[in-house]
Amino acid sequence: MKANVIMFHGGMLSLLLCLILVMAVPATVGAEPSKAQVIRLWEDQHRVKGRVLDVKSRGGQRSTNELDGKRYLVPVGTCWDYDVVELQKCGCRLFERASVCCRKGSSKECEVRIGTGTRMMDCSAYGKPRFGLAGNTEPADCKEKRQASACWHRKDLVFGAGSSIGPCVGSGGAARDWPPAFVCPKGQETVNDFHNRKCGPTPEDCGCTLVEECSTEEGLACYRKWKSEGASGRIIPSSASSPASNIPSSVPSPMEKLPSLPSSPIKLPFLR
């Protein structure tokens, strides 16, 4: 009798464990959206009908506590990662590791999230004109944004917004007259030498190279005007007895007197 009771309780426990496992599996694992579903979700959410050229699954299945802009205490959905290529005005944009997140138990209540990175690509690989909707000739605004993006990612540029060169300090707003960008032999160290009047009178006299494609026309015009006028206002000490060399080290540099400026003066919106 005692053995039968033990077997009964053991069987009930096993059955209970099986039921828990069966109920838990649908709650944590859902069916991954099909490629067609991902395309439809992307085009509907971003209003780019017929412009998704490629979708590649990147895996990354994981639960999420957030859906439809709401955050929950427990996981309510599952996400998967994809690389998505979208046809745009200036070319084809690759969205890396964009996510599709669906509510548990639903294949319809889903949303798209942009992802971790994005870059422009040549559309000819997808049988489209090189510059996407713009055709095979790059428009001026596309070229400007492409160059701005390339400059934004460069780590060797100095001066520019937030610095001063003679009268060129940048008035902010829509003026776009911040100093032009340069590449200098010792980077920021050369910039400090210029501001401390250890070299000059221009950044080019300090060994720097002007990078016109990463500078604004307004900034270039200001710099060239100042340079053509003899770079007035700059005094280079010729010896230790020079009055300029007697300036106390506690005097703030011109950089410290400037108002703070945005680190990214150039906005880079997607040209869809």
Q: Single out the residue of 35, 40, 113, 118 nearest to residue 77, CA to CA.
A: 113
- Do the bridges between strand 117-121 and strand 92-103 make them parallel or antiparallel, or are there none, so unpaired? antiparallel
pLDDT for 54 beyond 80: yes
From 2-11, 60-69, 94-103, the region with the lowest mean pLDDT: 2-11
Percent of the chain with pLDDT over 70: 72
Task: Give residue 105's pLDDT band: very low, low, confident or very high (50, 70, 90).
Answer: confident
* Residues near 243 by beta carbon (within 8 Å), at least 6 away in sequence: 235, 237
CA 242 – CA 105 distance, rounded (Å): 79
Coil, helix or strand at residue 55: strand
Query: Across all residues in the chain, what is the average pLDDT?
Result: 79
pLDDT for 261: 37
3-state secondary structure of 94: strand
| Domain ranges across the chain | 35-139, 154-257
Using 50, 70 and 90 to split pLDDT, how confident is the model at 36?
very high
pLDDT tens sequence across 157-196: 999 888 889 888 876 656 677 899 999 999 999 999 999 9
- Mean of the pLDDT values across residues 203-220? 93
Cis peptide bond prior to 252, omega within 30° of 0: no
Answer whether residue 57 shows pLDDT above 90: yes
Report CA-CA distances (Å) from 35 to 25, 32, 53, 58. 24, 9, 11, 12
* Res. 25 pLDDT band, cuts 50 70 90: very low
Higher pLDDT among residues 60 and 90, named by residue: 90
Determine the pLDDT at residue 27. Answer: 41
**Residue 161, φ and ψ in degrees, nearest 5:** -60, 135
> How much is the pLDDT for 161?
84
Q: Return the minimum-mean-pLDDT range out of 23-27, 102-106, 175-179, 261-265.
A: 261-265
Which residue type occupies 266?
I
Q: Which two tokens stand for residue 4?
A: 């039968």
Running DSSP on this structure, what letter comes out for residue 215? Answer: S
Helix (H) or strand (E) holding 255, with range, is: helix 254-257
What is the pLDDT at residue 233?
56
28-32, 120-124, 130-134, 144-148: which has the minimum mean pLDDT? 28-32
Evaluate whether 254 touches 213 at the Cβ level (below 8 Å): no
Q: What is the pLDDT of residue 236?
A: 45
